[in-house]
Amino acid sequence: MLLARVADRLYWAARYLERAEDTARLVRAHGELMADLPPRLDTRWEPLLAVVGSGVRVLDANGDGSGVQTQTRSALDVEMAVVRFLATDRANPSSVVSSVIAARENLRTTRDTVPREGWHVVNDLYLYVTTEADRGADRRVRDRYLGRVIADGRRIDGILATAMTHDEAYVMWRLGRAIERADMTTRVLGVRAAAVLSLPEHLTPGVEDHDEVQWMGVLRSVWGLQMYQRAVRGPIEGSSVVRFLLEHDRFPRAVRALLREIRLALSELPEPGGPLDAVADVEAVVRDASAASTDGHALDAAMDQVQLAIARLDQRIHERYLRIGA
Amino acid sequence: MTETAAATTPWDELLDSEGRPRPAAAELIALIERLGPEELQARQAAAAADILTMGITFTVYSEGSNIDRAWPFDVIPRIIEAREWAAIERGLVQRLRALNMFIDDVYNERRCVADGVLPAELLVDSVNYRPQCEGVHPKFGVWAHISGSDLVRDADGTMYVLEDNLRVPSGVSYVIENRALAKKAFPELFGYLGIAPVDAYTDELNKLLASLAPDTVTEPSIVVLTPGIFNSAYFEHSFLAQRMGATLVEGGDLVVSDDDRVYMRTIGGLEPVDVIYRRIDDLFLDPAVFRPDSLLGVPGLMRAWRAGNVALANAPGSGVADDKVVYAWVPDLIRYYLGEEPLLPNVPTYRCLDPAERRFVLDNLRELVLKPANESGGYGILIGSRASDAQLQAQAEAIERDPRNWIAQPIIQLSTTPTLCPDGIEPRHVDLRPFVLTGETSYVTAGGLTRVALTKGSLVVNSSQGGGSKDTWIVDLGSGWGSY
């Protein structure tokens, strides 16, 4: 027996925690990538903003409209502005810190369904990311800050997997995790598309921007480099990475494998017909998307299509399970 | 100590008048001396860190978005010897039996009025009297299943009942959490001293609630009904539901259907509910009967309860016996219903309703504590010795205007307990809130919640007003647990 309201909060707690963890991993992997690239481009950090959606820009002090403000456009300034926005800015509802706060708030109201130890981890993480938020973006603290979010994200999943009864409440958690994870994988690919698009005209895509290193960065952002190499046994090359992250059916952050997990989770819930149809729709969109070229515009548009299909699935789950009689 | 400079020295719970440890506290005091101040402060700090990690919080009204506060805990426990506690326990059980017989009588035959024990106008005027409850017969004749009476000890060592909290008393989760903290703080003593465990409460509560289900139900579905995350006791609602394996619900999760039964909305559809441990005040329970603007309650809940399809704990209307004016009659009610002498005394109480007693109160305002009949949480109380002339004048007028709403009591010199303060160990005033379960049988927590006024000289122990808490140890010096 699971209250619809509790199901809703568990689902969202899982989504927010996954978003925090994946954003942290992306920012961290991007930092490592940047350290390996020559300092030729001053817009190297800006493409990262595509993770929260297209159209978010770094603006200098004179900029108008919505965007991430910075005093000048020095490379360090832009880097700090982007990292702050994605990691420690409470005004950005998708930042790491905002996501952890939202996850904790959702879990706080469902404490009776989640093992205590799991709640303690989330509460502890909340205390850490909020008290350290002022320093979290600094280069020297950043790695520890983001690393803690990633490690605690893994810890809570481990605790729930091994200490929580695998009932409907746990299924809602799995569902939230898997849907957000699938969405975030497409967003990581979206960041790569944005990076290609931001390349100055005098540089040739795929040659002078160290294409292979960049795609390694994409794989690192989803902890996928090693598994990619095992699966592909060939050079790291864009279209192959896109196919791996969309179509692999066993790598746990590949979209197809996640859709499989979503199907399994849904099959444990009462009458999942509507949501299952929506999963089939996402699968169809993914098939088309993986055929798209790694040309910036095509990849960007394809990922938008997958994200929209996932949003429709989310909508069906809400209608079927989370809004009973409301 | 200027503010409490009374003629008498307060009773100390751990030390006798010569400053020597009382027998049940001897081991603890010896340990504290061995540890030294730095180690004790370190253990206090460790407990404070645990409170943050474990998310033991209480919520304070009107603090904007920062609503969740860490629970203030003092590491030095308050200790009561088991033999004394056994007597207190008997007194509490007796008191709650009588109070429940009174509530059942009030909503049915009203023998107590017919027999002249209680003035009729007292009931009519009580803001906690609910005409909607007339004629209902809850199981076992019990209405106030869960109560949290406040006990205070005067300078001469007498333990008094200060008030009976029969509506939605809170604090029991902190009894259990405080114990977990104390075990970590003093591992040297647990397992060696005979300290009564407190963990059984939630199990006893669960059994009690299950026993209240309609007789036709074999496996009752039990829920805890909370007003939600913004309520000051939300932590506790969640804690209790968790410990009992009950479902924590909000009003919006429940629905009363045309068959007068209560259901909850689940992902698989509507599921029946048999017992509701409600932590919502009467007036918010059912907008169809009480406050129509309540968004916390469930329309039709009273209908389902009156039809006997769902049990409510505590039953609505229980607060009629929680009235500070009715309080003054409790010793009489115990004698009337049980034919026994009260085992636990009331604080001597003057009833402003009575002309002679009112005259006395008005002539001696400065020596008395004035309490409004139906407030809780320490609100509306005036301590005569600390009031300005203008406040006393206003108080006198309030009494003349509405004598039924006021009682007066002598100032009780609340007992103290050694407490770890920034400058070392100092005495601080405490009270005690044991929790009593009443159904077919009775159960009393081993000890209860010791609340401490952390500000020097203060008598206000409420956590909403700067109070803290301590673990309470019932220590058996005699022949082990079998003796009582």
Q: Do B266 and A4 touch (CB under 8 A)?
A: yes
Beta bridge partners of B427: B418
Mutation target among B176, B226, B267 for the A interface, most CBs of A within 10 A: B267
Residue A112 to residue B229, Cβ atoms within 8 A = no
Q: What tens-digit pLDDT sequence spans chain A (326 residues)? A: 899 999 999 999 999 999 999 999 999 999 988 887 776 655 588 889 988 876 677 766 555 555 677 766 677 888 899 999 999 999 999 999 999 999 999 998 887 789 989 999 999 999 999 999 989 999 889 999 999 999 999 999 999 999 999 999 999 999 999 999 999 999 999 998 888 877 776 666 655 667 888 899 999 999 999 999 999 988 898 889 999 999 999 999 999 999 999 999 999 999 999 999 999 999 999 999 988 777 888 999 999 999 999 999 999 999 999 986 54
> What's the confidence (pLDDT) of residue B87?
96
Domain boundaries, chain B: 2-195+323-347+412-479
Using an 8 Å Cβ cutoff, are B286 and B302 in contact? Answer: yes
The Cα A38–Cα A34 span in angstroms is: 8
- Crossing angle, helix A255-266 and helix A238-247, to 10 degrees? 0
Read off the amino acid at residue A229: Q
Q: Is the pLDDT of residue B48 over 50?
A: yes
Identify the three-state secondary structure at position B382: strand
Amino acid at B245: G
Dist. CA B243–CA A3, nearest whole Å: 18
Residues of B at the A interface, defined by Cβ within 8 angstroms? 52-55, 221, 228-229, 238-239, 241-242, 246-250, 252-253, 255, 264-271
In this structure, are residues B313 and B280 in contact, taking their beta carbons and an 8 Å threshold? no
pLDDT digit string (tens) for B342-352? 999 999 999 99
Q: How far is A69 from B429, CA to CA, in rounded Å?
A: 54
Q: CA B312, B313, B315, B318: dihedral to nearest 10 degrees?
A: -160
Q: Which of A2, A112, A116 lies closest to B267 in CB terms?
A: A2
- Return the residue of A nearest to B242 by Cα: A112
C-beta atoms of B265 and A324 within 8 A = yes
Q: Which helix (H) or strand (E) holds A273?
A: helix A273-291
Task: Dump pLDDT digits (tens) for B424-436.
Answer: 999 999 999 999 9
In contact, B473 and B79? CB cutoff 8 Å: yes
Give residue-wise pLDDT tens across range B249-268: 999 999 999 999 999 999 98
Nearest CA in chain B to A121: B53
Nearest by CB: A324 against B228, B241, B267: B267
3 state DSSP class of B42: helix
For residue A297, give its domain range: 4-322
Tally the domains of chain A: 1
Give the residue carrying structure tokens 């010795």: B385
Q: Are B325 and B373 in contact (CB under 8 A)?
A: yes
* Count of Cβ atoms closer than 10 Å to residue A114 Cβ: 25
Chain A: give the shortest CA distance to residue B266, in Å.
4
DSSP B56-102: -EEE-TT-TT--EEEPPEEEEEEEEEHHHHHHHHHHHHHHHHHHHHH
ipTM exceeding the 0.85 mark: no
The percent helix, strand, coil of chain A (3-state, each to 5) is 70, 0, 30
